[in-house]
Amino acid sequence: MNNKCDLIYEGKAKKIFSHDDEDKVIIEFKDDATAFNALKKAKFEGKGRLNCLISTRIFELLMKNNIPNHFIRLKNENTIIAKKIKVIPLEIVLRNTAYGSLCKQTTIKPGTLLAKPLIDIYLKNDELNDPLITRDRIELMNILESRDLDFIIDLTLKINIILKKFFKNIQLQLVDFKLEFGYDLNSKILLGDEISPDNCRLWDLNQKDDIIVSLDKDRFRNDLGGLIEAYSEINRRINDFI
Ligand code: TMP
Ligand code: ASP
């Protein structure tokens, strides 16, 4: 790391350090895993490295597809260099298949394929437990302008098309995922955070029957075990494909 590399922020799964260049940051992926707003915590040796490598490959794919994002380059196996952004306090979830909170909060059955992608937006606020939020409330709170929200939603739908196809090629069903966006120093909106099995639901399509085999953080959320094995399998399939 460079000389004056101060810890700017420590989140649940990542640490952000300053970079010599004002417009960049260094992001280190941690081995910690949390679920249910950190009510449940554990450490998985090697998770940070796997998420960093998987996320790097996905950002490279998105870059090729002209999706504006914060990724610059991999620094080492659990650290990346990224553009500095001011994070918009919203979590944009896109769902292709019903699962998780959608099935807890509605009468839709787990595993139902959705006729079109569903976008659920949550306020990124741990104290409030990241509540589901409406467009009108986003406007009321002056979080971002309506046209910027439209831009983010449009980008999320485009990202879904790219990721769905990519994962299908490696025999994975992209059930849902969560994205975060931010403004760079020129006020341009960029995709930030990470794209990994921590924030995507990925089901193995290499199964004979209709059983659900999760290769994502549900292995920890639902006490299924084998989290590192699942993440390693995803990393292996990505590297074999690229
Ligand atoms: P949910 O079904 O629990 O709402 O989760 C939807 C997707 O969002 C799933 O892929 C997991 C991801 N997610 C996060 O990345 N962070 C979170 O804090 C939550 C609640 C979900
Ligand atoms: N990021 C969430 C947390 O601990 C958990 C999740 O991904 O379900 O708080």
Please list the rounded mean pLDDT of every run of 10 residues in the chain (242 residues). Answer: 77 96 97 95 98 98 98 98 98 98 98 98 97 97 97 98 98 98 97 98 92 97 98 97 86
From the CA of 102, give the closest atom in ligand 1: 2
Please report whether residue 234 resides in a domain. no
Joined tokens for residue 207: 């199964």
- Of 83, 109, 138, at which residue does a domain stop? 83
CA distance 43 to 30: 9
| Domain at 37, CATH number | 3.30.200.20
Q: Contact 223/205 with Cβ under 8 angstroms?
A: no
Long-range interactions of 142-145: CB distance < 8 A, separation 24+: 143/88, 143/89, 143/90, 144/88, 144/90
pLDDT for residue 154: 98
Give the ligand at the shortest distance from the Cα of 14.
2
22 C-alpha to ligand 1 centroid (Å): 31
Please report whether residue 36 resides in a domain. yes
Is the CB–ligand 2 distance for residue 38 below 6 Å?
yes
Tell whether 101 and 216 lie within a shared domain.
yes
Please report whether residue 231 resides in a domain. no
Coil, helix or strand at residue 139? helix
- Of 83, 102, 120, at which residue does a domain stop? 83
- Ligand 1 site-directed mutation target among 54, 114, 176, most atoms within 8 Å of CB: 176
SS3 labels along 187-234: CCEEECCCCCCCCEEEEECCCCCCCCCECCCHHHHCCCCCHHHHHHHH
Residue found under tokens 């950190």:
38
- Of 83, 115, 146, at which residue does a domain stop? 83
Please report whether residue 187 resides in a domain. yes
Tell whether 194 and 76 lie within a shared domain.
no
Residue 117 burial (10 A CB sphere; 0-12, 13-18, 19+): middle
pLDDT for residue 174: 98
Tell whether 158 and 126 lie within a shared domain.
yes
Tell whether 198 and 150 lie within a shared domain.
yes
Q: How far apart are the first and last CA of the chain?
A: 28
Tell whether 59 and 94 lie within a shared domain.
no
Tell whether 69 and 170 lie within a shared domain.
no
CA distance 198 to 33: 8
151 C-alpha to ligand 2 centroid (Å): 25
Is the CB–ligand 2 distance for residue 34 below 6 Å?
yes
Tell whether 206 and 93 lie within a shared domain.
yes
Mention every residue, 6+ apart, whose C-beta is less than 8 A from residue 228: 44, 45, 46, 47, 50
Domain count, the chain: 2
Mention every residue, 6+ apart, whose C-beta is less than 8 A from residue 131: 122, 123, 125
Tell whether 95 and 159 lie within a shared domain.
yes
Please report whether residue 1 resides in a domain. no
- Per the structure, the complete domain to which residue 149 belongs is given by 87-226
| Domain at 216, CATH number | 3.30.470.20
Is the CB–ligand 2 distance for residue 12 below 6 Å?
yes
Please report whether residue 77 resides in a domain. yes
Tell whether 169 and 105 lie within a shared domain.
yes
- Ligand 1 site-directed mutation target among 32, 178, 220, most atoms within 8 Å of CB: 178
CA distance 183 to 70: 10
Tell whether 111 and 216 lie within a shared domain.
yes
**H or E segment at 161?**
helix 146-169
- Ligand 2 site-directed mutation target among 29, 37, 179, most atoms within 8 Å of CB: 37
Please report whether residue 127 resides in a domain. yes
Please report whether residue 102 resides in a domain. yes
pLDDT for residue 5: 84
174 C-alpha to ligand 1 centroid (Å): 13
